[in-house]
Structure 1
Amino acid sequence: MLARIAIFEDNDRLRESLAYLLKMNDYDVVGDYNQCNDAANIARVYKPDVVLMDIDMPGESGIRGVQLIKEAQPKTAVIMYTVFEDDDKLFQCLCAGANGYLLKKTPPAKLFDAIQEVLEGGAPMSPTIAKKVLNTFQARPDTNKYNLSPREIEVLQWLAKGYSIKLIASEMKLAFDTVRAHLKNIYQKLHVNCGKEAIAKALSERIVR
């Protein structure tokens, strides 16, 4: 049985080329779309095995698209296929449930390898992205020492970038009081009294970068 693939990519030429190459290599392309606003319904109806998802698209972003697909069809594997190499986008995609992260400069043969890898339960990533993930883990040796949750680490990252509680709430799509509660827990766990002390400790001990 052919693997079922769906493509979300707003560059028409690239999307059509991907669909053609996949069909020529014995994949069943169940649909290709220039936005992911209806990603949840598409996932429920067509039940793709793998989704190739761009990040920057009109309407909902690809990061939100991952969440919609995973909520509707948890077994569908999502590979981000993007030009973005920055840590924030990578972190947000992985937190949203992405199974792989490939840069668009990836050769077609490597793309096919990645699809096969994710079908077998792997987590394919472009070499530079895999290195970033490894560096992130290596740069946080003391995270577990303070028992910080992934959500608390994310809040701390935004705080270290100078974001206010209101802006952090907006970026993370959380209530103001929820972020404030996270910060209170962070201060207690880090044994500090304020945001400045938390940032200084987080940076000096490489809990965040």
Structure 2
Amino acid sequence: MSYPQIMFSKQLVNDVVAPSEYITMIQPIAKSVFLVTNDFSQQDLDDFAPLFNSGIQDKWVSNVYNPTGKFKVVEPATPLEVPMIGVSPGLLQTRPDILSKDAPSLAYIFLVQGKNAGERTKAVAKVTRHAAAAAMFHELINGYSIVFSGAILTCNVAKIFPPTPMNIKLKFFKVEDIAGLHSVALEKDNKRQGNSIGVWC
């Protein structure tokens, strides 16, 4: 089976074959990337929650354990020869009704890593699917992997990345669709004082 080569960023969320794993090329620069389309687990979310709870966006931070619980901004990670991108169901929305009716309520989060992935990570949020694809495309070209991706409600971006530090620990819950995102917002938020965020991943 032949897989589509990547010419444009929008192909990352439109043309990939799911669920699957394959190596493809970004053209015309002939950059190899390993593309994986699958669900992320609740355990993945739990593992990555501290990075999102850092509140630091678009900057590389040290993953190394810090007794203070704070993440230190560091220099960028070393690029990879063949970066990986994990595309979750939240980014692979193909139904016209989702794109037209629900897309404005959705934003997209992802995590970027390079070599020594356990040491440096960058968290990113984008408010449109194609903006997320363009940002991921840029990271891949530069040799960085997208190790996590998912969709959230747009209103939650400011909770995860507030303009000023909030010192509130957020809880992240894996959901299967847009209805799940709204369910977490309506039900769990009421029980947990607004600290719960659904992630379609």
**TM-score normalised by length of structure 1:** 0.29
Larger relative helix fraction: 1
Highest RCO, 1 vs 2 (Cα 8 Å, sep ≥ 6): 2
Structure exhibiting the larger radius of gyration computed from Cα positions = 1
**TM-score normalised by length of structure 2:** 0.30
Larger relative strand fraction: 2
